Structure 1
Amino acid sequence: MQTVSHAIGGAEQHSETPWTTRRIILAKNFILECGGVLPELEVCYTTAGKLSSTGDNVVWVFHALTADSNPQDWWNSLVGPGQVLSPERHFIVCANIIGSCYGTTGPSHAKGARTEGVGLNFPLVTMRDTVRAHKLLRKHLELGTISLGIGGSMGGQQAIEWACSEPDAFQRLVLIATSARHSPWGIACNEAQRMAMCAEEGFSIGDPSAGAQGLEAARAIAMLTYRGYTAFSKTQVDKESKVTGFAASSYMQHQGKKLSARFCPYSYWSLTKTMDSHDVSRGRGSIEDALSRVTSKVLVIAISSDVLFPPSDQHTLAAGIPDSKFAEIDSVYGHDGFLVEGNKITVLLEEFMSEIVGDSRLSVQSSAGASCGPSVPAKGT
């Protein structure tokens, strides 16, 4: 492992200065689960806060599909000064995942520009490969047991895979709007998005300048699963009768263009494949067998209107994990509720973090009254 890192901001490791982002080469010739090889595994990660003398205040945040390694940018209703997960009390770590375009090795590596990538020739990366990279980073940071791991959607998939592969890695886990195995429905939704991307001329042959239009269409398809009928009926209703120029239409166009302006199409393709690979039972017997390995205290949170990861997915998690509790948040915002419903999640987190595990509890400062508007941060899902 090459331990030379490139810091943004120049702060030292475990600094109190919030949100220091670094890139580090963690491995050479990183062999992937499906046989591919990454000549160099570089990981971009962000830390905030100060590690306690006993190392018992580590919070590891796992990001979802198109987010980056700074959770304050996309989960600021939960993470940041004054919030339930605060660098004032916790040492927070978040790593950008393999295949992304925010600093970690991916199709657009190494400079983060589409024109310098390897496109569809980038090898298949599974969820287990992603977790192995997290483990290498934890080793580099010299961290012991992680006090709290938390993730929603694809972030939760990373968290539960890690816990199944290394049962003593976490004291506590919070799994929000996620699953033990990516469902046939979820895989079908991802395949529909990839089909839309391939419909753009040039993308399927790896043209580095192609993909923006296909990515916009893919994002629009995804938005249908992130929100759903109820959310669109609440937020995109036209004030007067129309025959064209509908609010829902402009919303879909806006969401597509917003993502294509910041994200690499080839990374999007790669990460949807990673999500499809998620299955904690592979090589471990059944899902029940895999989940029974988890020794952490776990809070599983469902979103009532989630059509991408419906509450039945979270019931499976809670039923299979020995020391778990289940909570369901009533929300009209569908899957995006894991980003939008910050106040409701905070209440559950404060209660969960105050519970004693072994002989310790995580420091909690009540954030009652904190506001969280009904909008999704730019780098959320």
Structure 2
Amino acid sequence: MNLQSTYLISDMTQEVFHCDEEVVLESGESLPEFRISYTTQGHLTPQKDNVVWILHALTGDANVHEWWSGLVGEDKLFDPTKNFIVCANILGSCYGSTQPMSINPKTGKPYYYDFPQLSTRDMAMAFEKLRGHLGIRKIDTIIGGSLGGQVALEWAYNLQEKVKNTVIVASNAKTSPWTIGFNEAQRMAIEADGTWGENHEDAGKKGLEAARAIGMLSYRHHQTFEAFQKDTEEKTDNFKICSYLRYQGQKLSNRFNALSYWTLSKAMDSHDLGRNRGGTAKALSEIKSRVLAIGVDTDLLFTKEESQFIAKNVPKGSYREIKSIYGHDAFLIENEQINYILKSFNLEDNS
């Protein structure tokens, strides 16, 4: 294993970790090698006890100071003058980590549709390799939302006493048929694109636009659309919500690729903490860290009951709730509530 590149962006360091060992994935397939793009902010204490590891959601990246700016930064909850903050791009994502457009070292060509199936367990494994590379013996806090929360929970199960606090936001311990159904509908939209199956980066681009529009209906709540996308004049066509969904689809397709989206949505479907571990409740009962599960009262995709299930079944679990009209996306928007919840959690008994 070796460090491929390093460069500075203000107080942030962005690097690429290269694992040159072949890893066997949960599917039985393997990756001959992989890369993980990651950022760090701040410095480790001599005791190395100030690590905060943040995991991004489906189409996020390692630049956590951009997409969670309300929580990360100087004088904020996760302060790089006090914490050593790590955020790594998830395996399969197209923001610097190994993904379907990466070169397969065995063929010298991009993987494209031959990229192996990933699970959230595989993603946690990749982060564990990175943790070892960084020489981090123990993590103070792991926090992730949505897909990032799923991976965080998997990782916390494996880390045991090596992580003190685990915060799971708007996520679950096992993906529900409801969420899998939304993901399948999005993949069907990608499949319907006539370019799907072609070997180039823009394959499935229009399908991805439609997929994102479907996704947006699950990320938000009907109250959100009623408040911000309701037409004020009487009309029979060209509704405001239609323009909004098309815009969101185009916006994503210009920054993401359909194959990565496909791969990550499949990994989300695979999430089941209890697989081969005696069931979900039993697996949760074996997590050693303090666990804070945060639900959103209007979340249609990862329901608050799923967060409550996590809190109920881990030995050191607690539940808090975000009140919001923004649905699932509230975990990226309601920074003041999250700040308050996390500060209250840190004040609780640490024994």
TM-score using structure 1 length: 0.88
Q: CA offsets per residue over residues 81-121 of structure 1, 9 Å max, x none?
A: 2211111210000111111001110012259xxxx742221
| 1:104 counterpart SS class | coil
Please list every run of 5 or more consecutive structure 2 residues that lacks an aligned counterpart in the other structure. Answer: none
* Equivalent of residue 126 in structure 1, options 113, 119, 128: 119
Letter in 2 for 1:235: F
Q: Provide the alpha-carbon RMSD of the alignment.
A: 1.6
Matched, 1:337 2:334: no
8 Å contact kept, 1:62–1:95: yes
| Counterpart residue number, 2:238 | 245
Write the distance in 2 (CA, Å) between the matches of 1:215 and 1:192. 11
Given that 1:171 and 1:357 are in contact with CA atoms closer than 8 Å, whether structure 2 keeps it comes out as: no
Deviations 1:264-289 (A, max 9, x none): 11100000011111100011002111
Matched, 1:160 2:159: no
Choose from 245, 258, 262 the match for 1:265.
Answer: 258
Deviation digits for residues 206-239 of structure 1, max 9, x if unmatched? 4543211000000000000000212111111122
**What is the rounded CA distance, in whole Å, between the counterparts of 2:260 and 2:45 in structure 1?**
36
* Aligned residue pair count: 347
Please tell me the residue identity of whatever aligns with 2:7. Answer: I
Query: Which residue among 20, 23, 28 is the counterpart of 1:27?
Result: 20
Larger displacement relative to structure 2 (204-213 or 177-186): 204-213
Identical columns (%): 42
User: 1:141-188 deviations in whole A, cap 9, x for unaligned?
Assistant: 000110011011011101111112231131011111000001111111
Contact 1:81–1:88 under 8 Å retained in 2: yes
Q: Extract structure 1 runs of 4+ deviating beyond 4 A.
A: none
CA drift at 1:355: 3.4
Aligned to 2:69: 76
**1:93 partner SS:** strand
Counterpart Cα distance in 2 of 1:68 and 1:105: 13
Measure the CA separation in 2 of the matches of 1:158 and 1:48. 21
The residue number in structure 2 matching 1:5 is 4
* Residue of 95, 102, 107 corresponding to 2:88: 95
Equivalent pair of 1:19/1:70 in contact (CA under 8 Å) = no
Match of 2:269 among 272, 276, 300: 276
Structure 1 segment 190-209 matched on structure 2, within 5 A: 190-209=183-202
Residue in structure 2 matched with residue 373 of structure 1 by the alignment? none
Q: Which has the higher contact order (CA 8 A, sep 6+)?
A: 1
8 Å contact from structure 1 (residues 305, 331) kept in 2: yes
| Preserved CA contact (<8 Å) 1:103 1:109 | no
SS of the aligned residue for 2:292 comes to strand
Match of 1:173 among 151, 166, 186: 166
Q: Distance in 1 between matches of 2:73 and 2:348?
A: 22
The answer on whether the counterparts of 1:49 and 1:87 sit within 8 Å (CA) in structure 2 is: yes
Which one-letter code corresponds to 1:5 in the other structure? Q
Aligned match for 2:209, one of 191, 209, 216: 216
SS at match of 2:46: coil
Listed as ranges, the gaps of 5+ residues in structure 1 are 12-16, 359-381
Q: Is the 8 A contact 1:117 1:208 kept in 2?
A: no
For 1:266-323, what per-residue CA distance to the aligned partner results, in whole angstroms no more than 9, with x for missing partners?
A: 1000000111111000110021110011111111111000000011111110111111
Give 1:300's match in structure 2, choosing from 293, 299, 306: 293
In structure 1, distance between residues paired with 2:64 and 2:251: 19
Q: Distance in 2 between matches of 1:171 and 1:141?
A: 18
CA distance in 1: counterparts of 2:192 and 2:200, whole angstroms: 13
Name whichever of 239-248 and 285-294 sits farther off.
Answer: 239-248
Superimposed CA distance per residue, residues 296-352 of structure 1 (whole angstroms, 9 cap, x where no aligned partner) = 111111100000001111111011111111111111100000011111000011121
Kept after mapping to 1: 8 A contact 2:294/2:319: yes
TM-score by length of 2: 0.95
